[in-house]
Structure 1
Amino acid sequence: MYQYYLSLEQMVYQASIVEQDWNRFVERTRVKHVQQGTYLIETGEPVNHAYFCSEGLFRLFYTLADGREYNVGFSPEDDYVTSYGAMVQGQPSTFTIEAMEDSVVIEIPYDVLKELMDTSHMWERFVRKSVERLYIRKEERERELLYLSAKERYQAFLLKYPGLDKRIAQYHIASYIGVSPVSLSRLLRSDPH
């Protein structure tokens, strides 16, 4: 079970978190196996945990009033996944997070995270850096949707998520870059990278 903590442990030690604080973290979190197609968080649910993806892949998506799904992000291995705003504000999630593959996460209770940040400056710094990465990713995504062509958005997707185009269906990529599956197929036929 400890092998699922290894990549997170490397990140934590780079942040100079002492072994005692790391051990407290491991004792108060748990490894959770998530089957493909399972929702980790659903729209409308309260969010009390953050997750670190040790294995597998998740997609974050909104469901529109007409039932269409709109992918806003993906979280592969060595990435965090949660509805951060909902967790911090104590609000229900406005989007759903689904396992796209059989996955393994480290489930981190928000109250444990808050306690660690309150008692350790290094944990506070580590979490701040993680949140900064999420915020930068969100800003980049907004800029891409506003300023880039469909082809440029596809190229940005390939750079941001190397190899993901081989792991997920094209219609998920199309949803993420804001085009129809037919338009993406046409784009790929005319310029296969």
Structure 2
Amino acid sequence: MDKINDPYDTFKTKISKYPIEQNHWQAFKEGTTIKQLKAGTCMIKAGDPVQHAYFCITGLFRLFYLLPDGREYNVAFTLEDDFATSYASMINGQPSPYSIEAMEDSIVIEIPYDLLQMLMDRSHMWERFVRVSVERLYTRKEERERELLYLPAIERYQAFLLKYPGLHQRIAQYHIASYIGISPVSLSRLLHPAEH
């Protein structure tokens, strides 16, 4: 693998503000796996056990629920330099309630939960890095719940644009509609009122 495009270099740059000891970094590299996923591939399927976290080096993922009537409901997106997993399932040893699908050809670092636990036990820097990552995830989750409860659809769309800059150019409108909790037709009306 070309050194410039080495996923581990990308990850190390991302965590550079956390000075990780060399032996812990080596343990991380030896205990993780680089995975390439084609667009449309489910990295985690609803009902699967979850034993890994995934750091997105390149690409894009959506986290979605499959509703009883067959509709899919997007709850989050993961872009480059961020984590994707079902944290609650990974921690509690429960099956994932939702699926995580690659929306583009993607490269991730697959990190076993046992390895993360070991590194956090041995290093305050790893503990801090993981804590900050989880805090960011739950902040987003709380913001999204508030948006769905209190904001009208147009403001939910604007919040989506702020939270995921440029993503509207990478995904289909029906995925955005699903995320903000309206139909694709309703989103089209919001964005192009003169045409309706």
Q: What TM-score do the two structures reach when normalised by structure 2?
A: 0.94
Aligned to 1:105: 108
Instruction: Structure 1: state its 5+ residue gaps.
Output: none
Distance 1:151 1:110 in 2: 39
1:27 equivalenced with 2:30 (yes/no): yes
Q: Give, as a single letter, the amino acid of the residue that structure 2 aligns with 1:82.
A: T
Distance 1:27 1:179 in 2: 44
Distance 1:74 1:123 in 2: 24
Distance 2:145 2:114 in 1: 30
Q: Give, as a single letter, the amino acid of the residue that structure 1 aligns with 2:184.
A: P
Q: Please report how far the alpha carbon of residue 190 of structure 1 lies from its aligned counterpart in structure 2 after TM superposition.
A: 2.9
Pick from 57, 62, 68 the counterpart of residue 59 of structure 1: 62
* Structural mapping, 1:6-155, within 5 Å: 6-155=9-158
Q: Give, as a single letter, the amino acid of the residue that structure 1 aligns with 2:49.
A: P
Quote the RMSD (CA, aligned, Å): 1.2
Using the aligned pairs only, state the percent identity. 66
Distance 1:31 1:163 in 2: 26
Q: Please report how far the alpha carbon of residue 58 of structure 1 lies from its aligned counterpart in structure 2 after TM superposition.
A: 0.3
Aligned to 1:179: 182
Q: How many residues align?
A: 191
Distance 1:20 1:172 in 2: 42
Q: Give, as a single letter, the amino acid of the residue that structure 2 aligns with 1:41.
A: I
Q: Please report how far the alpha carbon of residue 20 of structure 1 lies from its aligned counterpart in structure 2 after TM superposition.
A: 2.4
Aligned to 2:192: 189
SS in structure 2 at match of 1:45: coil
Deviates more, 1:87-96 or 1:22-31: 22-31
1:113-150 per-residue CA deviation (whole Å, 9 max, x = no partner) reads 11101111111111111100001010010011011110
Q: Give, as a single letter, the amino acid of the residue that structure 2 aligns with 1:109.
A: P
SS in structure 2 at match of 1:71: strand
Q: Please report how far the alpha carbon of residue 23 of structure 1 lies from its aligned counterpart in structure 2 after TM superposition.
A: 2.0
Q: Which runs of 4+ in 1 moved over 4 A?
A: none
SS in structure 2 at match of 1:183: helix
SS in structure 2 at match of 1:14: coil
